Chain A
Amino acid sequence: MINYPIEQIRADFPILGETVRNKPLVYLDNAASCQKPQAVIDSIVHTYSHEYANIHRGVHTLSVKATDRFEAAREKVRGFINAGNAKEIIFVRGATEAINLIAQSYGKSQLCAGDEIVISAMEHHANIVPWQMLCQQIGSVLKVAPMNQKGELIFEEFENLLGEKTKLVAIAHMSNALGTINPVEKIIAAAHAKNIPVLLDGAQAIPHMPVDVQALDCDFYVFSGHKLYGPSGTGVLYGKQALLEAMPPYQGGGDMIRTVTFEKTTYAGLPHKFEAGTPAIAEIIGLGAAIDYVTAIGMDAIAAYEAELLAYATEHAEQIKGMNIVGQAAEKGGILSFTLDHIHPHDIGTMLDSVGVAVRAGHHCAMPVMDFYGVPATARASFAMYNTREEIDILMQGIKSLIEVFG
C-alpha cells in the first residue's frame, strides 16, 4: 500500500467508531452520501455557537462575520475546482438542484423546439428527468448516447449524435451505478469542435479525484457537498461567467434582488443572481471546512488510495463464484456494483447489514442502467477515503456466507 495516513483519517470520522447491530460499522454506501470528519462537524457547531446570523444584509457584527465566512467558503470552492472567478460559483442545495437550474434557466432561455440535448445511457435520474421536463416544456429532444456491456460510453456513437441541432451535452463525470469514469476531455473536445457547451455532473467524481474546470474547459460543473464529506443541503453549480451572465434568474426573492418596485425588478449580479432566499449558511461554511480537510490530505493521494481499494475489492469479488460485477469499465472509480446468482439485492443488503456492513441495494436512481443490464436492482459497495482492505475482507466474507445460506 502507498503511504497514506489511513488511521489518522479514520480517527477524524467519529461515526466510524459506531456499532451497527452490535458489529463495528463498515460503511460502504459512500456513493449515496459520505460521513463527516470532526472538522466539518466542529465548523457547524462553531458557526451556530459563535458566528451565526443571516448573511449579506446585516450591518451588525455577526452578520458581517457570517457573510465573510460564507464568502470564504465560495473562495475555497473556487480554488478547489480551479474556477477563474468566485462569481462563477453558485451555491445550491445539491447537484440535482444545479442541473434543474441549468435546465430551467439556460435550457429555457437558449434552446428552442427541436433543439437536442445529448446525455448518456448511464445517467442517474437527476441528469435525465430535468431534461425530460424541459423537453415537455419547450419541445426540445433528448438524445441518449449508448454504452457497451462493460458500462463504457461508446464514444463514436456519442460523437455521431452531435449535430446542428445539438445545443447541450450533459454527462456524468463518473457513474453512480457503475463507477465508470467518462472520457470527459474527449467528450468536451468533440462537443466544443461543434460549439456545443458541456455540463459535467460531478456528483460522484468530485470526492474521488482532482477536478480542474479550467483545464477541462467544461461549461458547467455541478456537485453535491454531502458526497464531499460536507453537510447535506449544500451543492455547487460552476458555470462559465459569460454563460451565467446570459441566463435569467431561476428563482425570485432574497439575495438575487438588486431593486424591486411593484412595476419592475432588477437583478443582482453573479453569483447572487442565482441565490434566492437564505442559503444553508452554516452548512456551506461547513462545506468549506470539508474542502480544507480533503485538500490537506490531497485529492491525488485520495484517488490513488481508492484505486488500490477498488483493485483489491475487484480481485476478491472475481474469485467468488456466483458473484457478478455490474460495470467493468477500464476507467473506473471506487464503486463495486454487483449481483449474486439467485439472491435478490435487498436480501443481500439486509444480510450484510446484520454483520455491520452498509451497502446500497436498489436501482441507485438509475433505472435505465438496471434495464440495460436486465436486472431489477444491484447491490453496491462504494468506497471512500476512509475505507480499508480489512473492511473489504468483511464484505467479502459476508457475501460468501450469504451465498452459503441461500445455497
Chain B
Amino acid sequence: MFEDLRDLYQEVIFDHNRNPRNFRVMENANRRVDGFNPLCGDKLTLFLKIDDHVISDASFQGSGCAISTASVSLMTEIVKGKTEEEAETLFKQFHEMTTGKSEEVNLEAVGKLAVLAGVREYPARVKCATLAWHTLDAALKNQQEAVSTE
C-alpha cells in the first residue's frame, strides 16, 4: 500500500526506529544539548564525550518520529571516533543532502546516512531528519541553550 514511500521509509530507518542505537543517558558526557521541534513535539537530548577534539562517545534520549529517531540513532553511530571538524563537515553535507541544495548526494561522504536522502522530496519532514544534526552542531559549538528547529 505504501510503495511510493520506499524512498522515504527504507528498511534501515524502520530498523533504527525499532532499535535505536546509543539510546542512553551518558553520565560522563562533557557536552549535553536539548533539541526540540515545536511543530511536532519531537525532542531529544544529545550527549557527547569529546576528548582532545575527538568524539569518543555519543548517545541520546528522547522521543520522536521514525525519521528523527533513525536520524539521531545513525548520527550517534557515525560521529563516534570523528574529530569535531570532521563531524562539522558531515553536518554540512547532511544538511545539503536533506535540503536538496546539492544536486547529487555524495554517497561516499555521507555513507549510511544516504538512507535519509528521501526526505528532500517531503518538505514537511526535512526538520525531522535535521533536528539531530542541528543539535550536534550546537553541541560542537558548545552552545548551552536548547536547539529549536523553528
Contact = CB atoms under 8 A, between A and B. Distances in A.
Contact of A405 (B9, B64, B124): B9
Nearest to A397: B1
Nearest to B8: A350
A345 B67 contact: no
A143 interface: no
Interface string A337-364: 0000001111100110011000001110
A21 B3 CA distance: 11
Contacts of B9: 347, 351, 405
Given A361-B40, A363-B41, A376 B2 contact: no
Contact of A350 (B14, B17, B122): B122
A384 interface: no
Interface string B31-60: 000000001111100000000000000000
Contacts of A376: 40-43, 63-64
Interface string B53-80: 0000000000111110100000000000
Chief secondary structure at chain A's binding surface: helix
A397 B67 CA distance: 23
A345 B68 CA distance: 12
Contacts of A351: 2, 5, 9
Interface string B7-44: 01100001001000000000000000000000111110
Contacts of B1: 355, 397-398, 401-402, 405
24 contacts: A344-B42, A344-B65, A344-B66, A346-B40, A346-B42, A346-B125, A347-B9, A347-B67, A350-B122, A351-B9, A354-B5, A361-B40, A362-B39, A362-B41, A367-B41, A376-B42, A377-B40, A397-B1, A401-B1, A402-B1, A402-B2, A405-B1, A405-B2, A406-B17
Given A22-B4, A406-B66, 17 more contacts: A343-B66, A344-B40, A344-B65, A346-B40, A346-B42, A347-B66, A347-B67, A350-B125, A351-B2, A351-B5, A354-B2, A354-B5, A355-B1, A367-B41, A377-B40, A377-B41, A402-B1
The 10 closest A-B pairs by CB, nearest first: A376-B41, A344-B65, A401-B1, A346-B65, A347-B66, A347-B65, A354-B5, A377-B41, A354-B4, A346-B40
